[in-house]
Amino acid sequence: MAFTVSQVARMAGVSVRALHHYDEIGLLRPSGRSEAGYRLYSQADVERLQQVMFFRALEFPLEEIARIMTDPAFDVGAALRMQRQLLAGKAVEVRGLIAAVDAAIARLEKGETMAQDRIGELFEGFNPKDHEEEAERRWGGTDEWKQSKQRTARYTKQDWLQIKAEGAEIYNQLAALMAAGKAPGSPKAMDAAELHRQYISRWFYDCRAAVHRGLGELYVADPRFTANIDKVAPGLAAYCREAFAANAARLG
């Protein structure tokens, strides 16, 4: 059975223009053409589009999706299992956000403000201020700690939500690479590690390669970091450590 571009667009809930774009970038090319030259999609093409839509739901950039799906080692079964795991985690996060929005609406309607001891609810129980004393004790003499404290002091709630979203996207990329069997020292894993290093530099402190390698070691040495990162995917903290180290070696 062959489907026209308009039929596929209706089934998938995407625009015809998007399908044309997927064809142009080699992400989803139709298997056939009609006598008039119009695109015709097979059942296999539609199933491939489903994979694309799953990755898009996880906020993967199109370029990254194309790299993953055109890799000769791409395994549909492994990808589906990874996508389910990531989507399940995203569902938990969304349910938590909905609950937080409901609570915020209720406070607004009652004219209430959030008590200081509940501020951690904004970040699902994580309040950066709870860790200030320990951070100062461990790293207070470093330039990185001083720079981070100066920067974060002026961050708003929206800034912290942006930080959380960007971090989640990077960890999801690393988890996808791990699930796809990419070695932490592979170019793609090192590229994702570099995105993380730049993310730290952009929001917290100038993260040199050696410092980033040390951060990866901390992710494994401190069980609190390990547990938090492994929520995305079991074993991700250790994978990050190796990817960070490989990227640091690449940067010299």
pLDDT 10s digit of each residue in the chain, 252 long?
799 999 999 998 899 999 999 999 889 999 999 989 999 999 999 999 998 998 888 878 888 888 888 888 888 888 888 778 777 777 776 776 677 677 767 767 777 655 544 545 554 544 444 444 444 444 445 777 788 888 888 887 778 888 888 888 899 999 999 998 999 999 999 999 999 999 999 998 888 898 899 889 988 988 888 888 998 899 999 999 999 999 999 998
- All structural domains of the chain, each given as residue ranges with its CATH number in brackets, are 3-69 (1.10.1660.10), 125-251 (1.10.490.50)
Give this prediction's pTM: 0.52
Q: What 3 state SS string does the chain have? A: CCEEHHHHHHHHCCCHHHHHHHHHCCCCCCCEECCCCCEEECHHHHHHHHHHHHHHHCCCCHHHHHHHHCCCCCCHHHHHHHHHHHHHHHHHHHHHHHHHHHHHHHHHHHCCCCCHHHHHHHHCCCCHHHHHHHHHHHHCCCHHHHHHHHHHCCCCHHHHHHHHHHHHHHHHHHHHHHHCCCCCCCHHHHHHHHHHHHHHHHHCCCCCHHHHHHHHHHHHHCHHHHHHHCCCCCCHHHHHHHHHHHHHHHHC
